[in-house]
Structures are given as structure tokens and as C-alpha cells.
A = this chain, B = another copy of it.
């Protein structure tokens, strides 16, 4: 049972792009209805969709904002591939108000259909790519379906997980950082929980909007703000929790990410901030993959994260 004081959604941010000089074209919305579509005019792009859930018993004043990673949408916080409740549910049960973002070009935010505005093309993802990138197992062992021993992702539901994949551009980070900032400024001071590419975008948005932040939890961020963006003013006012899962040493990419994460934490602390790097196996969560909000111990990890927020933010 979930007793919600309120829930709903809004879109925020974005900008207008003007198209002119194009010919109209006849489109068919259905077999029976044709329409003379005018591709000229002002199109709104780069807005951000936010869905929110406010519990009746809100036991922590500051809301949580959940920001998904690359190739995914806010749906990744709603359910695990094997159908268990997601972190959204876990945090609601802990008495947090929760805001879930679909970042620019993902999910209900929509994407830019005006050609020439965004560089490059959207790319999709196969199960094979996810297997390696998300540390379910060695790339060479994908075909044999032989994961890392003890890994906790529900691999029997890998196809259900693939249904959550959406295409993503790789050129839209600046718009996405602006989008997260617009969402934060609308929501108000928050604890930001961000995953993977969202860890990069979220940490960049956090240092650009320090007055809207009460804490940042980066779950295996794929990147960090530039060194010059890290000052006492931008990172000094709240705690950072930098989380990493298991099997890091199995992956060159994630070994490098661990090095970068540690370096970011040191820069934050040197600037007078407070950053803490925690590897989940060290606090009782062996087998955590890159998708630890979906692993079979996901609810327990959410409990640990909630304790950290209650103790630090």
C-alpha cells in the first residue's frame, strides 16, 4: 500500500528552434485522415519530463531526485526486469518524496526532430553490449551465458531489461545538464541520486546549481565535472556519496572509472567539500553490478542509501 499525498508530472525547460523555408507535406495520421503538415515554425526542444510521488507520511524534508543513465529512462527506477518494485518504491516506503526525471531526448521528454540541431545519430543497445558495459560478465562469456560468479543482476530477465532500452544521442550532454538544472530549480533543494551517464550529467548540474542541492549520490558515474568547476562554492555545501559496485577490477573501463571517481572525491575534499567513496561489497553488497538498483539485493541497497541520506543530508 502506498499512501500518496500527491503524484503527477510536469515538463520544464527547453528552448525554441525556428524552422523556415521548408515545403509543406501531406502526412497521414491514419488511413482516414490526411493533413498538410507545415514543417516551418517554432519547435520546442530539450524540455525535461519529471514525475513525482509525495508520500502522506513524508519523514524527510528534502526530496530525492532520481536521474537515470544512458540509453534508459526514468522507468529504470520503477521496476526491476524481474518485476520487483524499484528504488522509487523503496524510497517512497522510507518516507521520501521522490521525483523521477526523463532527461532531454529520453522517454517522455521527447527528442529533437528538427534536423541539424543535434550532432550525430541516436544509437541503440544490444544485450551483448549491456552484458559487458554493465559488468554482468566477461564479454567473451556472453554467448555462453556465463556471468561473473556471485553477480546479482536478474539475468533470467535480460530480455525484459532490454525492453527498457531506448536510443540515445552522444552529443546532447550540454542540453541534458541544462535540463537537469531546470528540473532542480523547479523542484527546489534536493538530494540528487544519479546513475552512470546520469552521474556525469547530475554532478555537472549540481555544481552549476549548488543552491538547489542538499546531497549528491553518484551511482557509478561515467564522468565528472571539469576540475575548474570544483570550488568551495560549488561543492562545499553538501555531502557527496560516490558509489561503486562489484567486479570493478574485471573491467578496464570501470577500473579507470574508479580511478576517476577517487580523483573527483579528492578534488571535492581538497576544495573544502565532503566526498565519500564507498564500494558496495565493502558494506555488505557483494555481487552488485552496474545496475545495482535492479540487482536482487536492490531494496537492501536502497535501505543503506536511505540511511546515508538520513545521516548526512
Residue numbers of A with Cβ under 8 A of B are: 1-12, 14, 27-33, 35, 37-44, 47, 49, 51, 56, 70, 73-75, 78-79, 83, 85-86, 89, 102, 107-114, 121-129, 133, 159-160, 162-167, 170, 173, 196-197, 200-201, 222-224, 226, 253, 256-257, 260
Q: With contacts A29-B222, A35-B253, A102-B108 known, what are 14 further pairs, Cβ within 8 A?
A: A2-B4, A2-B6, A3-B3, A10-B160, A28-B170, A30-B201, A31-B173, A32-B224, A32-B256, A38-B126, A47-B163, A49-B75, A110-B166, A113-B124
* A41 adjacent to B113 (CB under 8 Å): no
* B133 adjacent to A35 (CB under 8 Å): yes
Contacts A/B (CB < 8 Å), 6 sampled: A1-B4, A8-B78, A30-B223, A33-B256, A102-B108, A111-B167
Which residues of chain B come closer than 8 Å to A33, judged between CB atoms?
200, 222-223, 253, 256-257
CB-CB nearest in chain B for A84? B8
Main secondary structure on chain A at its contact with chain B? Answer: mixed
* A113 adjacent to B78 (CB under 8 Å): no
Task: Count copies of this chain in the complex.
Answer: 2
Given contacts A30-B173, A32-B223, A35-B133, contact A11 B75 (CB under 8 A): yes
* A75 adjacent to B12 (CB under 8 Å): no
Given contacts A4-B4, A8-B79, A11-B75, contact A111 B166 (CB under 8 A): yes
- Quote the shortest CB–CB distance from A225 to chain B (angstroms): 9
Which residues of chain B come closer than 8 Å to A125, judged between CB atoms?
43
Given contacts A29-B197, A166-B110, contact A85 B44 (CB under 8 A): no
Which residues of chain B come closer than 8 Å to A41, judged between CB atoms?
126-129
Which residues of chain B come closer than 8 Å to A256, judged between CB atoms?
32-33
Which residues of chain B come closer than 8 Å to A29, judged between CB atoms?
70, 170, 196-197, 200, 222-223
Given contacts A30-B197, A32-B224, A37-B123, contact A2 B7 (CB under 8 A): yes
* A122 adjacent to B126 (CB under 8 Å): no
Which residues of chain B come closer than 8 Å to A32, judged between CB atoms?
200, 222-224, 256-257, 260
- Quote the shortest CB–CB distance from A124 to chain B (angstroms): 4
- Quote the shortest CB–CB distance from A203 to chain B (angstroms): 10
Q: Which of A27, A30, A56, A159 has the most CB of B within 10 A?
A: A30
Which residues of chain B come closer than 8 Å to A6, judged between CB atoms?
2
Which residues of chain B come closer than 8 Å to A7, judged between CB atoms?
2
* C-alpha spacing A2/B55, complex, angstroms: 9
* B126 adjacent to A43 (CB under 8 Å): yes
* B113 adjacent to A12 (CB under 8 Å): no
- Quote the shortest CB–CB distance from A40 to chain B (angstroms): 8
